[in-house]
Chains A and B, each alone.
Chain A
Amino acid sequence: MDNQTAILEVDRVAKRFGGLVAVDSVSFDVRPGEILGIIGPNGAGKTTLFGLISGFIAPSSGDVRFDGVSIVGTPPHLLVRRGLVRSFQIVQTFADMTTLDVVATAALVRRPMNEAIDFAAHILARVGLSGKEQLTPKQLSLQDKKLLEVAKCVATEPRLILLDEVMAGLTLAETDAPLAVVRDLNAQGTTIVMIEHVMPVIMRAAHRMIVLNFGAKIAEGTPQEMLSNRAVVEAYFGDHVDA
Chain B
Amino acid sequence: MRPEFFAQLRSPVPWIVLAVAAVMPFVLPNYYLHIFTITLVYAALASAWNIVGGIAGQISLAHSLFVGCGAMLSSALLVRYGLNMWLGVIVSAAAAAAIGAMISFIDFRFRLGHLSFALITMAFAEMAEIYVTGTEFFGGASGLFLPKDTGDFFAFQFGGGRGAFWAMLAMTALCLLANLAILNSPLGYYLRSIRDNENAAQAIGVGLLRNKTLAMTISAVLTAIVGAIYARYLAFVDPYLLVSPTLTVEIILFATVGGLGSVIGPALGAFLLAPLGEILRGHFGGSLPGLHYFIYGAIVVAVILVSPAGVWPAIVSRLAKRGRQKA
A: residues with CB less than 8 A from B are 54, 56, 75-78, 80-81, 85-88, 92-97, 101-102, 104-106, 108-109, 113-114, 116-117, 152-153, 155-156
User: Could you list some 20 contacts between A and B, CB below 8 A?
Assistant: A75-B207, A77-B201, A77-B202, A80-B202, A80-B204, A92-B197, A92-B199, A93-B197, A93-B200, A96-B195, A96-B196, A97-B192, A97-B193, A97-B196, A102-B193, A102-B204, A109-B204, A113-B186, A117-B2, A153-B204
Q: Compute how far the CA of A113 lies from the CA of B189 in the bound complex, rounded to whole angstroms.
A: 10
Q: Compute how far the CA of A88 lies from the CA of B261 in the bound complex, rounded to whole angstroms.
A: 27
Residues of chain A with a CB closer than 8 A to B82's CB: none
Given A76-B202, A85-B203, A114-B192 contact (CB < 8 Å): no
Given A108-B186, A113-B185, A94-B207 contact (CB < 8 Å): no
Which of chain A's residues has its CB closest to B2's CB? A113
In this complex, the member of A81, A95, A101, A105 whose beta carbon has the largest number of chain B beta carbons within 10 angstroms is A105
Which of chain A's residues has its CB closest to B191's CB? A105
Of A75, A96, A104, A108, the contact of B261 (CB 8 Å cutoff): A96
In this complex, the member of B185, B190, B197 whose beta carbon has the largest number of chain A beta carbons within 10 angstroms is B197
**Closest CB in chain B relative to A53 CB, distance in Å:** 12
Q: Compute how far the CA of A114 lies from the CA of B1 in the bound complex, rounded to whole angstroms.
A: 7
Of A77, A101, A116, A117, the contact of B192 (CB 8 Å cutoff): A101
Interchain CB contact under 8 A, A96 and B192: yes
Residues of chain A with a CB closer than 8 A to B197's CB: 92-95
Chain B 188-218 interface 0/1 with A at a Cβ cutoff of 8 Å (1 = within): 0110110111011111111110000000000
Q: A92-B197, A97-B192, A113-B185 are in contact. List 11 more A-B contacts (CB 8 A).
A: A54-B203, A56-B199, A75-B207, A77-B201, A77-B207, A86-B203, A88-B203, A95-B196, A96-B195, A101-B192, A109-B204
Residues of chain A with a CB closer than 8 A to B208's CB: 77
Interchain CB contact under 8 A, B196 and A106: no
Q: Compute how far the CA of A117 lies from the CA of B188 in the bound complex, rounded to whole angstroms.
A: 13
Which of chain A's residues has its CB closest to B209's CB? A75
Count CB-based A-B contacts (< 8 Å). 86
Interchain CB contact under 8 A, A114 and B3: yes
For the complex of A and B, list the 4 residue pairs with the smallest distance between their C-beta atoms, beginning with the closest: A92-B200, A80-B205, A94-B196, A106-B204
Q: Compute how far the CA of A93 lies from the CA of B199 in the bound complex, rounded to whole angstroms.
A: 10
Residues of chain B with a CB closer than 8 A to A87's CB: 203
Of B195, B200, B205, the contact of A109 (CB 8 Å cutoff): B205
**Closest CB in chain B relative to A21 CB, distance in Å:** 24
**Closest CB in chain B relative to A78 CB, distance in Å:** 7
Interchain CB contact under 8 A, B202 and A75: yes
Given A113-B186, A117-B2, A88-B192 contact (CB < 8 Å): no
Residues of chain A with a CB closer than 8 A to B189's CB: 101, 104-105, 108
Q: Compute how far the CA of A155 lies from the CA of B193 in the bound complex, rounded to whole angstroms.
A: 15
Residues of chain A with a CB closer than 8 A to B205's CB: 77, 80-81, 85, 106, 108-109, 156
Residues of chain B with a CB closer than 8 A to A113's CB: 1-2, 184-186
Interchain CB contact under 8 A, A105 and B203: no
Interchain CB contact under 8 A, B204 and A156: yes
Q: Compute how far the CA of A80 lies from the CA of B322 in the bound complex, rounded to whole angstroms.
A: 43
Q: Compute how far the CA of A64 lies from the CA of B197 in the bound complex, rounded to whole angstroms.
A: 26
**Closest CB in chain A relative to B25 CB, distance in Å:** 39
Interchain CB contact under 8 A, B3 and A94: no
Q: Compute how far the CA of A5 lies from the CA of B195 in the bound complex, rounded to whole angstroms.
A: 40
Interchain CB contact under 8 A, B204 and A105: yes
Chain B 119-130 interface 0/1 with A at a Cβ cutoff of 8 Å (1 = within): 000000000000
Residues of chain A with a CB closer than 8 A to B3's CB: 114
